[in-house]
Chain A
Amino acid sequence: MSGDVLLRPDFELSESIRRYVRGQLSEAETASFERRLLDDVDLQDQVEAELTLREHADALVQTAVGSTRRELSRWAMAASLLAAVGVGLLLPRPWSDESQVGREIQSLSFTVMRSNESPPGFEAKAGLPIAARFLTALDQPHRLEVYAADGGMRLAIDDLLPDSDGDLTVLLPAFSTRDAPLRLVLSTRGRSDEYRLLVQDLGEGRP
């Protein structure tokens, strides 16, 4: 028989520690908790860790930024791979003009145009994924939500961070004309921008 003993996490005690450090215990509960604390080294360790998290919580922001940057680079890598596939499919064809380049993956730049009447409109082709580029000067995590014409949410992506030039690039799936016009909402702390995306049937005007 093994001598190791696996202890189940004591979430009740964990909650008491959290509330104690936040000053949410009653006077009697605090007194009782501190009496135990004075003679329980394990509890002292846990309170120490909880206090350290509280006292150095600003360090959590750097971690968040670091990981969102990693997430963004994964998205960028996925976009590059898809773009490479797209370019590969195009290679046998002559590139007659700029519109041909984005045949398999379309590139769209969303710029903010302030208007009181309606959000700025952009056009995409149905059935093709979109490498969407948003210009934003705010170096903080953003959230992108995509809504279909019926109001239903089709997509939500959190923790998007702009690159050093202030561009935020994200790969969006292909949309159908049935969903159009779509509404894109890019939000971050204290700011939200909206865009309208029309979707054109690929059959129309195809050479």
Chain B
Amino acid sequence: MGGDGDVQASLAELAARVLAGDRLAESILVARLTRPLRLVFRVRRVSSAEVDDLVQETLIIVLKRLRSSALNEADGVQAFSEATARNVWLAQCRKAGRREDLLRRQEDSLEPAMELPPEQRCSREEARRLVQESVADLSQSRDRELLREHYLNEVDKEALCARLGLSAAHFDRTLYNARERLRKLLRRRGMGGES
């Protein structure tokens, strides 16, 4: 089995093939889930050094489950993956809490974060440049201030609209446009997967 059909296959179809022992389907499923799982952990502010470990841990659990028995619901893969990722993250939080507690008791300090490897540093610079490019054409200084205050200073929507005298619709439109421009730039640079 293989070919174009693999690209079009739904997650449910891939899950059925994994249960039947199809190793290719496993690879496709892993490739399909890796990126969104990375996003899930990045949203939870997991450090970049730990994201890959958590994704791997999640995928191992998901694959073991799919190999052993069928999932009943149509979106069973998504539901099981989402729940697994959440549990893996919670376990990681507990582990980190225990570790910090241990270090506190030993009157020790946390070791400094490792420096990013050169390829990731370049990627970060590129992402920063694209962020700048995505908002460079904004003619209204108020819109630039809106984005700066929201993303950098984390001022919430309601407070920011009240302060700048903007409607919620204007706020939504400005953020939507900035994100869309950045999305296109990321895609064009082939950075859809990582930043």
B23 to chain A, nearest CB (A): 21
Chain B residues near A62: list those with CB within 8 A: 132
A15 touches B172 (CB 8 A): yes
A59 touches B79 (CB 8 A): no
Interface size in chain A (residues, C-beta < 8 A): 44
DSSP class of B's interface residues: helix, strand, loop or mixed?
helix
A18 touches B36 (CB 8 A): no
A46 touches B183 (CB 8 A): yes
Render B138-149 as a binary contact track against A, CB cut-off 8 A, 1 for contact. Answer: 100110110110
A11 at interface by CB-CB < 8 Å: yes
Chain B residues near A47: list those with CB within 8 A: 39, 43
- B residues 102-154 near A (Cβ < 8 Å) are 124, 127-132, 134-136, 138, 141-142, 144-145, 147-148, 151-152, 154
Interface size in chain B (residues, C-beta < 8 A): 57
Distance in angstroms between the alpha carbons of A10 and B43 in the assembled complex? 21
Contact of B144 among A9, A38, A67 (CB under 8 A): A67
- Give chain B's interface residues, CB within 8 Å of chain A: 10-11, 32-33, 35-37, 39-40, 42-44, 75, 77-79, 81-83, 85-86, 124, 127-132, 134-136, 138, 141-142, 144-145, 147-148, 151-152, 154, 157, 169, 172-173, 175-176, 178-180, 182-183, 186-187, 192-193, 195
Other than the given A56-B124, A67-B136, 6 more pairs (CB < 8 A) read A9-B180, A18-B175, A44-B192, A49-B182, A56-B127, A60-B148
